Amino acid sequence: MRRLIFIVLSLLFTSCVTVWGQEADHEPIKYNDGPYIFRLDNTFSAFWIKDGQLIEELLVPTVFNDLKKLFGLPFDFKDMNKVFEGRTRFRQSYRNVDNICVISDVHGRYDRYIDLLKAVPVVDDEMKWNFGKGHLVILGDIFDRGEQVTEILWHVFGLEKQAEKAGGKVHVLFGNHEHMVLNHELWYIADKYRETEKTTNISYTELYSENSVLGKWLRKKPVAVTINNILFVHAGISPLVVIKGFTVKKMNRMFYREVLGKDPEIVLRDENLSLLLSDQGPLWYRGYFSRAGIDEEIIDRILSFYGVGHIVVGHTPGERIRSFHNNKILGIDAGIANGLPGEALLIREAEFIRVDSAGRQSGLTVKNK
């Protein structure tokens, strides 16, 4: 039965499979990965890798409970069904939030991710939600480089459910690396996931297909959100995006309906859609951090267009969280991808606070350029 399940899953993805140099006598490397869970008719099927060996299970609630214990999955069977239900929201605007924690660009470093959440503390020692009615914002780039992407994604997936029960909220935004992975641009995945491709005979992108729990969940995530008077986006908002009149709702709707899963050649032929994926778009823009910087008058126009007082971004790494023009622009990518511990931004009663991985809090040094 297990082999039959896997064959069925393989056939679902045959048209999109990419095999990376697989050989018939490929010697399994002893490593662990997964689980990857897919919707199959009215139930779910899962597979994972233990010591280099593929294991498959058809999931019913009782079997899922065993899988939940095995991997410490922080959610219930019914939560997976909910991923495939309901409508996608595009406006993404929230008010009257007293506590906000922001992290970004964790790039598969589960240890750094957990250290920062504990430091705030968004989670307790058991890694469960501990932030009450606060909001956690993850500014994208969970994927690539590191070897524990799967673990982070499942933890965030479960944390989202825990936060909702407590009256809080978890926001996961699309980064450029999320888009690359879902678009078959797999240049930065860790070697471990190359092995997963060989073992499963499924490309890494198809492990996050629309039939998968995590893939469907990710595709519903926005490019940008506003909370109180703050705009959150992975890379930044360029002046050209404002000239084009791209509101938060419009960006989120275009990305979901017209970019994800579409033929890249068709997307890039469209002037508006190609802007979303260009170096002037919200997933790639670095203009705030260029040597010349960006004029404060232009920043004020961008802020006015969105009706906010601040923009918080990741994407461009530094050694610490950076603030420009009296906290109008905050860059929170503190170099996890470069081997640094990273930092979290805590926003409490309109105060911006830097939190390091040891839990030390400090104010921000504002730069004007």
Where does the pLDDT of residue 340 fall: very low under 50, low under 70, confident under 90, or very high at 90 and above?
Answer: very high
pLDDT at 2: 45
What is the distance between the alpha carbons of residues 23 and 19, in angstroms, rounded to a whole number?
10
**97: left (phi > 0), else alpha (psi -120 to 50), else beta?**
beta
**What's the pLDDT score for residue 322?**
95
Which of 152, 241, 168 has the alpha carbon at shortest distance from 255? Answer: 241
The lowest-confidence range among 24-28, 182-186, 348-352 is: 24-28
Average pLDDT, the chain: 91
CATH code 3.60.21.10 region(s) in the chain: 93-367
In this prediction, residue 28 carries a pLDDT of: 65
CB atoms within 10 A of CB 115: 18
Q: What is the pLDDT of residue 366?
A: 59
Greatest Cα pair distance in the chain: 65
Residue 329 has pLDDT above 70, yes or no: yes
Judged against a pLDDT cut of 50, whether residue 11 lies above it is answered with no
The two tokens of residue 43 are 């139930």
Each residue's pLDDT tens digit, 177-224: 999 999 999 999 999 999 999 999 999 999 999 999 999 999 999 999
Q: In the predicted model, what is the mean pLDDT of residues 324-335? A: 95
Using a 10 angstrom Cβ sphere, with 0-12 exposed, 13-18 middle and 19 or more buried, the burial of residue 122 is: buried
Q: CATH code for 93-367?
A: 3.60.21.10
Tell me if 51 sits within 8 A of 32, measured CB to CB: yes
Which of 15-29, 179-193, 264-278 is the least confident region? 15-29
Nearest Cα neighbor of 140 from 149, 148, 151 is 149
